[in-house]
């Protein structure tokens, strides 16, 4: 059984309180590790270490050296690829085919891409005319923001944590990470890679624990934190703003979604089915960008539903290391109960269940895991709970539509605005519809095709701010204008 400790000032340390909690494998519900629960003391130590590293070796390191170290971190993740893969799959139950394709490579890329992006970024300068005719020169310089608190979720643990830590470190900041209590392993393993890569002590710190009245809250309310970046539920984002409001600092929030997939009759149906299958069921539906509302133009509705059903029923649930597995379990028993409560609500609200709706029969060690069936509903009004609320499970409601105007109105009629997918071969329509959707990202004829240089974030209740490319640079640095009278 693995003991999972905090990583503070370059060392693995236990909690002074002696408090621990269980690390469970969601595929089996077995206790596979013991995690130290951080309190005020560990958060205090981690923030102090991050502040000292900022003033010391990291803050004074030449840019080229810092970027070379971040390349070594990426190489270090790749060199220990199989260990990261196993750690991520044990924590989440996700199939290794998925984690090997997405989670671990993106974990490494998040360091390389941002190191390369930020190496040569210019800033603005302006000449100002003055009455004496000599003028003044203004130029802006970027400084690291300082100590960044990173609060990360359990659905794509390494990917989403490094998506923030990579650019934060590339900009010269130091970080204290509070990973999700459900998925402590890869964040901890990254500490070993940081040390091996030569990252100075205190630059990357990890404190384990929960949210309210635990490490998460202690970190986000700490007065010596200069910025908070968070991915997770909208309600948690609101709680973090409220709890930390005494201190003025920037926040960057990537929150929930209830994303539409819009399928026009002129789409390439094979591509639309393949993309919608991924966007609904990948990672057992636990992706904030995933599609939970599918709108299909009426002439192809029956055919689409028939083929989506066949795809869902062909998914293979099983162990993470079985090459045949295409869908894993949900993250926890608690989340399983939440998703099943929506399965029940859908029926109570009058849905026709096309497939799924319950719990699959799993055998052997998997019998006690957090498994649910991939599920498709039709026949609900747009006001139904499962059409309006984020479920975060392998399920969707499919609705026929008759006009562009109608589908745009429905697509926008939620409090969320994170992502959308549009399937059409008509490029004028693609641009027209994309322009009218309330979403931070619209994919046309694709889903989860990511370019890390682009703005990423949500509208409405789906987030505050954008990260990615120069937008990460904006969040993780402070701009200072220097005005020199000539």
Ligand X SMILES: NC(=O)C1=CN([C@@H]2O[C@H](COP(=O)(O)OP(=O)(O)OC[C@H]3O[C@@H](n4cnc5c(N)ncnc54)[C@H](O)[C@@H]3O)[C@@H](O)[C@H]2O)C=CC1
Ligand Y SMILES: O=C(O)/C=C/C=C(\O)C(=O)O
| Contact flag: residue 340 with ligand X (CB under 6 A) | no
Answer for which of 80, 338, 415, 450 binds ligand X (CB under 6 A) is 338
Asked whether the CA dihedral 102, 152, 285, 443 is positive or negative, the reply is: negative
| Contact flag: residue 392 with ligand X (CB under 6 A) | yes
Query: Among 69-77, 155-163, 378-386, 471-479, which window interacts with ligand Y (CB under 6 A)?
Result: 155-163
| Contact flag: residue 7 with ligand Y (CB under 6 A) | no
Q: How far apart are CA 191 and CA 92, in angstroms?
A: 20
Q: What is the CA radius of gyration of the chain?
A: 23
Q: How far apart are CA 331 and CA 111, in angstroms?
A: 26
Answer for which of 108, 170, 284, 289 binds ligand Y (CB under 6 A) is 289
Q: What is the 3-state secondary structure (H, E, C) of 141-156?
A: EEEECCEEEEECCCCC
Restricting to residues 402-421, name those near ligand Y by CB under 6 A.
none
| Contact flag: residue 188 with ligand Y (CB under 6 A) | no
Answer for which of 288, 312, 346, 387 binds ligand Y (CB under 6 A) is 288
Q: How far apart are CA 339 and CA 393, in angstroms?
A: 6
Instruction: Identify what 181 binds: ligand X, ligand Y, none; CB under 5 to 8 Å per kind.
Output: ligand X
Provide φ and ψ at 17, rounded to 5°: -75, -15
As given in the structure block, the two tokens for residue 442 are: 């619209």
| Contact flag: residue 280 with ligand Y (CB under 6 A) | no
Least separation in angstroms between CB 391 and ligand X: 7
Report which residue's Cβ sits closest to ligand Y: 288
| Contact flag: residue 336 with ligand X (CB under 6 A) | no
Alpha-carbon dihedral angle through residues 194, 251, 181, 104, given to the nearest 10 degrees: -50
Q: How far apart are CA 202 and CA 190, in angstroms?
A: 14
Instruction: Supply the angle between the helices 63-79 and 104-118 in degrees, to the nearest 10.
Output: 170
| Contact flag: residue 249 with ligand X (CB under 6 A) | no
Instruction: Identify what 211 binds: ligand Y, ligand X, none; CB under 5 to 8 Å per kind.
Output: ligand X
Report which residue's Cβ sits closest to ligand X: 211
Pair 151, 240: CB distance under 8 Å: yes
Residues within the interface to ligand X (CB under 6 A): 151-155, 178, 180-181, 210-212, 216-217, 220, 231-233, 236, 239-240, 255-256, 288, 335, 338, 390, 392
Residues within the interface to ligand Y (CB under 6 A): 153, 155-156, 160, 163, 231, 254, 287-289, 450, 456
């Amino acid at each position: 059984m693995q003991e999972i400790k905090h990583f503070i000032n370059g060392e693995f340390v236990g909690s002074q309180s002696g408090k621990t909690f269980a690390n469970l494998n969601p595929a089996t519900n077995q206790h596979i590790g013991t995690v130290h629960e951080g309190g005020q003391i560990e958060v205090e130590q981690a923030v102090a270490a991050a502040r000292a590293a900022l003033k010391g070796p990291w803050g004074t390191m030449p840019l080229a050296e810092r970027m070379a170290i971040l390349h070594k971190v990426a190489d270090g993740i790749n060199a220990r690829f199989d260990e990261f893969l196993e750690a991520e799959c044990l924590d989440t139950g996700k199939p290794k085919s998925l984690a090997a394709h997405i989670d671990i490579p993106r974990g490494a890329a998040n360091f390389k891409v941002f190191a390369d992006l930020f190496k040569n970024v210019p800033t603005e300068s302006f000449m100002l005319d003055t009455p004496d005719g000599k003028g003044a020169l203004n130029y802006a310089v970027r400084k690291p923001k300082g100590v960044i608190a990173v609060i990360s979720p359990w659905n794509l643990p390494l990917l989403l944590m490094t998506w923030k830590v990579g650019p934060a470190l590339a900009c010269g900041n130091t970080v204290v990470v509070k990973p999700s209590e459900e998925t402590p392993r890869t964040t901890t393993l990254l500490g070993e890679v940081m040390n091996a890569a030569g990252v100075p002590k205190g630059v990357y710190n990890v404190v384990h624990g929960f949210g309210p009245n635990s490490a998460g809250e202690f970190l986000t309310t700490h007065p010596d934190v200069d910025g908070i970046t968070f991915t997770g539920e909208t309600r948690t984002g609101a709680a973090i703003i409220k709890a930390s409001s005494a201190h003025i600092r920037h926040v960057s929030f990537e929150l929930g979604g209830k994303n539409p997939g819009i399928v026009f009759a002129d789409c390439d149906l094979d591509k639309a089915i393949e993309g919608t299958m991924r966007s609904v069921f990948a990672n057992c539906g636990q992706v904030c960008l995933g599609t939970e509302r599918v709108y299909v133009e009426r002439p192809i509705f029956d055919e689409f539903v028939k083929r989506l059903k066949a795809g869902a029923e062909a998914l293979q649930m099983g162990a993470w290391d079985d090459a045949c597995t295409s869908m894993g379990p949900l993250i926890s028993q608690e989340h399983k109960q939440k998703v099943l409560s929506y399965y029940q609500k859908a029926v109570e609200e009058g849905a026709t269940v096309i497939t799924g709706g319950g719990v699959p029969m799993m055998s052997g060690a998997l019998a006690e895991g957090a498994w649910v069936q991939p599920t498709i509903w039709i026949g609900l009004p747009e006001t139904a709970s499962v059409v309006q609320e984020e479920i975060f499970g392998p399920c969707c409601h499919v609705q026929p539509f008759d006009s562009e105007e109608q589908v745009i109105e429905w697509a926008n009629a939620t409090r969320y605005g994170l992502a959308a997918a549009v399937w059409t071969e008509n490029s004028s329509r693609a641009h027209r519809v994309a322009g009218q959707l309330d979403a931070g990202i619209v994919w046309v004829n694709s889903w989860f095709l990511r370019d890390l240089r682009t703005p990423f974030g949500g509208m409405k209740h789906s987030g505050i701010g954008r990260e990615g490319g120069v937008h990460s640079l904006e969040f993780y640095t402070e701009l200072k204008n220097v005005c020199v009278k000539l």
